[in-house]
Amino acid sequence: MLATKEWLPFDGRAEQLILLLHGWGASGASMAPLGAALRKAFPQAAVLAPDAPNPVDGERPGRQWYSVQDLDARNWPERVAAALPGLRAWVQAQQQRLGVGPAATALGGFSQGAVLSLELAARHDGIAGRVLSFGGRYCLLPEVAPRHTTMHLFHGSADTVIPAQGSRDALEHLGALQGDATLDIAEGIGHEVHPALIGCALNRLRSHIPLRTWQSALGAAQRVNRDED
């Protein structure tokens, strides 16, 4: 079981579930500024930030979702894939425990945590209604865009750890596949969950209507029109 920082509703059951995955060498507590902002904006949401299951390589403190020792483009996808089954089981366990379905779940993360969020949604479409990726990228761009998950990408323009071009490429790629994705880039911001990007995330969660909702409404309107003809 992962040690988890939790912000739960003061009263009543959770209506939304927001899961936040930290970056390499950190812990769930490092997601506190984002978690607190989400809790304030969505008081009936349960916001959870777990510690990654593994200690970082070497002597330094902190946790990791996968090892970065000798990491390169060839072994990166394998290491991420190996971390996904345990993460998927944990996500589904929290949904069951708190009584919140996938459509009302948002899966977010920073850096290494964002990578896992993107890749989990790519392999298990609909495990969450939305993904919030801060300073992350795909290991490999997906062949098929998720149909039941909206991808929200947030990046600092001055990020030198995971450059923002990866998010730009993902937005273009998902758009070409008829996927539902947004991108916000904060000028002059580096590799961090900056308050400006947190503000962008809150705005997307409040105002973005998923493409699947538009398509469902359009389909319903077309059926009504056919019935009236």
Tell me which residues are annotated as active site: 111, 159, 191
Return the CA Rg of the chain.
Answer: 18
- Whether 52 and 93 have beta carbons less than 8 Å apart is answered as no
The beta-strand segments (E) located in 2-100 are 4-7, 16-21, 45-50, 54-55, 63-64
d(CA 156, CA 191): 6
Query: 196: closest CA among 205, 206, 204, 186?
Result: 186
Query: 32: closest CA among 197, 193, 196, 153?
Result: 193
Other CB atoms within a 10 A radius of the CB of residue 210 amount to 15
Q: Is the dihedral of CA 221, 124, 141, 168 positive or negative?
A: positive
Query: 18: closest CA among 27, 26, 28?
Result: 28
